[in-house]
Amino acid sequence: MAGKVPVYEMVRERILSRLSEGTVPWKQTWESMSPVNMLTGKPYRGINRVLLAGCSQWGTFRQIEKLGGHVRKGEKAAGMVVFWSWETTRKRKDEITGEEVKVRVKRDRPLVRYYPVFHPGQCEGLAVEALAEPVRRVASCEDVLRQNKPVMAMGEPAYAPAQDVIFMPPVDRFGCAESYYATLFHEMTHWTGHTDRLKRDGVVKKAFFGSEQYGREELTAEMGSAFLCSLCRVETPDTEENAAAYVAGWLRSIREGSAMDVVKAAQDAEKAVDFLTASFLAGGTEA
């Protein structure tokens, strides 16, 4: 498997490639932003949601064989799944007994691996009834708002960390309710970074417009909004009217940032969603 730096670079290149094609990976249907493993039904999380956006079922070559199917000849893996771990097992001598015991220790740097995966459209022989159906826990947009009770005030969409206030215009200022909630979820993701909550650098520390830290926090909020829309089965609305400028902005930001930025942003977005839904939805495991 590839080492840390190549994997992060591969992730960035995948996302840059889709942006270059005019597709924003985190602006997908709610279902395709909730991809699962076709064998286990386990949901993918973090950056894997973004890498696999566009199809709701994925599996490795061997998993597809276990389901009685096979990858069609000539097909190349359409997706990649990234796994990382900060822990490892090492042997240490027990100070009392003198025996060697296995202990879990934290790595200096995470171990990162990736696996190629395929969607059902690339396979033959798969029985639809054999594919795992995930248990989707659904919240309403108002559930998310009601359970967290952020302080809100009228104004242009923004989050002010110093006052710990979310500013939002009235819903009738938006073209549709979906646009209103997608924007609100963006600001609520910022809200989770406050020093009394997740203490995210992009919120706690002053981030200047255009800086790497500012760009990562904005990407976190974008992904957090998309993940929350998926949870609430809200279709993410089309990007801004000037879609070309919107895409170009993210292309520039991701190109200029470090290779790990986009992965870290997705991790932070998933943590934000877990925080916002912890009181009424069961969490998942990192994949």
DSSP 145-180: HHHH---EEESSSEEETTTTEEEE--GGGSSSHHHH
Whether residue 100 lies inside any domain: the answer is no
Q: Are residues 177 and 117 in the same domain?
A: no
Tokens of 153: 């005030």
Identify the sign of the CA torsion 238, 240, 246, 250: negative
Cβ neighbours around 63 below 10 Å, total: 18
pLDDT of residue 93: 77
Does 256 lie in the same domain as 225? Answer: yes
Q: Would you state the structure tokens that stand for residue 241, as one six-digit string?
A: 């009217």
> Is residue 217 situated within a structural domain?
yes
Q: How many domains does the chain have?
A: 2
Same-domain pairing of 26 and 125: yes
Q: Which residue has the higher pLDDT, 111 or 29?
A: 29
Residue 182's alpha-carbon distances to 134, 136, 190, 239, 249, in angstroms, are 24, 20, 13, 11, 19
Residues 6+ apart with CB under 8 A from 160: 166, 167
Confidence of residue 94 (pLDDT cuts 50, 70, 90): confident
Pair type for strands 123-124 and 100-117: unpaired
Higher pLDDT, 283 or 252: 252
- For the ranges 44-58, 88-102, 151-165, 193-207, the lowest mean pLDDT is seen at 88-102
Using the CB atoms, write b or e for 107-119: b if 16+ within 10 Å: eeeeebebbebbb
Tell me the backbone φ, ψ of residue 108, rounded to 5 degrees: -70, -35
**CA–CA distances in Å: residue 164 to residues 21, 151, 235:** 38, 7, 28
Residue 99 counted as domain residue = no
Last residue of a domain, one of 102, 130, 158: 130
Asked if residue 186 belongs to a domain, the reply is yes
- Tokens representing residue 155 in the block: 């104004």
For residue 135, being part of any structural domain is answered with no
Q: Are residues 217 and 162 in the same domain?
A: yes
pLDDT bin (cut points 50, 70, 90) of residue 2 is very low
Is residue 146's pLDDT more than 90?
yes
Q: How many residues does the chain have?
A: 287
Residues 151 and 126 in one domain: no
Would residue 19 count as lying in a domain?
A: yes
Same domain, 156 and 116: no
Question: Could you tell me whether strands 57-58 and 36-37 are parallel, antiparallel, or unpaired per DSSP bridges?
Answer: parallel
> How confident is the model over 133-155, as a mean pLDDT?
89
Mean pLDDT, rounded, for 262-285: 83
Which of 130, 161, 190 finishes a domain? 130
Q: Do 9 and 125 fall within a single domain? A: yes
- Is 0.75 topped by the overall pTM? yes
Band (pLDDT 50/70/90 cuts) for residue 4 is very low
92: in domain: no
Residues 28 and 116 occupy one common structural domain:
yes
More confident residue, 117 or 84: 117
Report angle CA 194, 196, 201 to the nearest 5 degrees.
Answer: 40
Round to the nearest angstrom and report the end-to-end CA distance of the chain: 16
- Contact 57/120 with Cβ under 8 angstroms? yes
Q: What is the pLDDT of residues 189-233, one digit of tens each?
A: 999 999 999 999 999 998 787 788 889 999 999 999 999 999 999
The answer to whether residues 163 and 250 belong to one domain is yes
Looking at the structure, tell me whether residues 121 and 183 fall in a common domain: no
Residues 195 and 121 grouped into a single domain: no
pLDDT at 240: 59
Q: Whole domain around residue 69: which residue ranges?
A: 4-85+111-130
CB atoms within 10 A of CB 38: 29
Same domain for 145 and 267? yes
Residue 28 falls inside a structural domain = yes
Cβ neighbours of residue 9 closer than 8 Å, sequence gap 6 or more: 259
DSSP secondary structure code for residue 53 in this structure: T
Last residue of a domain, one of 130, 160, 195: 130
